[in-house]
Amino acid sequence: MKKLFFSAVALVAFSSVSMAETKESGTGKECTKVFLAALDTATSNGASEADAWMFASVAQYFCLKEVRLF
Amino acid sequence: MKLLIFLISLSSFSQIKNASIDYILTIGEDDLYSNGDLKVAYKNAAEYANQINFKLNLNEKEICFFSENKLENSDSGVELAKIFSGSKNPFYMLLNTNKIYQSFDDLILGKYTVEKQISKYEWKLENESKIISGFKCFKAVTTDVVQNRSGKFNFLVTAWYCPEIPIPYGPLLYNGLPGLILELNRRNVVYGATKIDLNPKEILTILKPDLSIIKTEEEITKMREDYINSIKN
Q: Provide the pLDDT for residue B6.
A: 44
Lowest mean pLDDT among A6-20, B40-54, B148-162, B198-212: A6-20
User: Which DSSP string do the residues of B118-133 spell out, in sequence order?
Assistant: PPP---EEEEEEEEET
Write the pLDDT tens digit of every residue in B105-124: 999 999 999 999 999 999 99
3-state DSSP assignment of residue B35: coil
The residues of B whose Cβ lies within 8 A of any Cβ of A are 32-33, 36-38, 40-41, 43-44, 73-77, 79-80, 83-84, 86, 88, 106-108, 146, 148-150, 153, 155, 187, 221, 224, 227-228, 231-232
Residue A19's pLDDT is: 40
Closest-CA distance, A70 to chain B, in angstroms, reads 15
B109 Cα to chain A: minimum distance (Å): 9
As a whole number of angstroms, the distance between CA B176 and CA B170 comes to: 9
Non-local CB neighbours of B156 within 8 Å, separated by 6+ positions: B141, B142, B143, B144, B186
Domain A1-8+27-70 has CATH 1.10.286: yes
Which has more pLDDT, A10 or B208? B208
Question: Under a CB-based contact definition with an 8 Å cutoff, are residues B157 and B212 in contact?
Answer: no
- Report pLDDT for A26: 43
ipTM over 0.95: no
Give chain A positions within 8 Å (CB) of B77. Answer: 13
Q: Which residue type sits at B126?
A: E
* Res B3: pLDDT: 53
Cα separation, B36 vs A41, whole angstroms? 9
The H or E element containing residue B82 is helix B76-84
Going by pLDDT thresholds of 50, 70 and 90, the confidence category of residue A24 is: very low
Secondary structure class of A53 (helix, strand, coil): helix
Are A26 and B227 in contact (CB < 8 Å)? yes
Q: Give the pLDDT confidence score for residue B148 in this predicted structure.
A: 95
CB spacing of B83 vs A58 below 8 angstroms: yes
**What value does the mean pLDDT take over residues B192-203?**
93
Question: Does the structure show a pLDDT above 80 at A18?
Answer: no
Q: What is the mean pLDDT of residues B206-223?
A: 93
* Mean per-residue pLDDT, B212-220: 93
pLDDT attached to residue A69: 25
5-64 of A, contacting B, C-beta below 8 A: 5-6, 9-10, 12-20, 23-26, 32, 35-36, 39-49, 51-55, 57-58, 60-62
Measured between alpha carbons, how far is B177 from B134 in angstroms, rounded to an integer? 19
C-alpha–C-alpha distance, residues B211 and B15, integer Å: 30
pLDDT of A5: 45
| A47 vs A68 pLDDT, higher one | A47
Sorted by where each begins, the domain ranges of chain B are 4-122+188-232
Residue B15 confidence class, pLDDT cut points 50, 70, 90: confident
**Per-residue pLDDT at A9 exceeds 70:** no
Q: Quick check: A13 and B38 CB within 8 A?
A: no
- What is the pLDDT averaged over residues B192-198? 94
pLDDT score for B121? 94
Mutate: best of B42, B148, B224, partner A, most A CBs <10 A? B148
pLDDT band at A11 (very low <50, low <70, confident <90, very high): very low
- Indicate if the pLDDT at residue B135 is higher than 50: yes
Q: Which of A32-41, B36-45, B67-76 has the highest mean pLDDT?
A: A32-41
pLDDT in tens, B31-57: 888 887 788 888 889 999 999 999 999
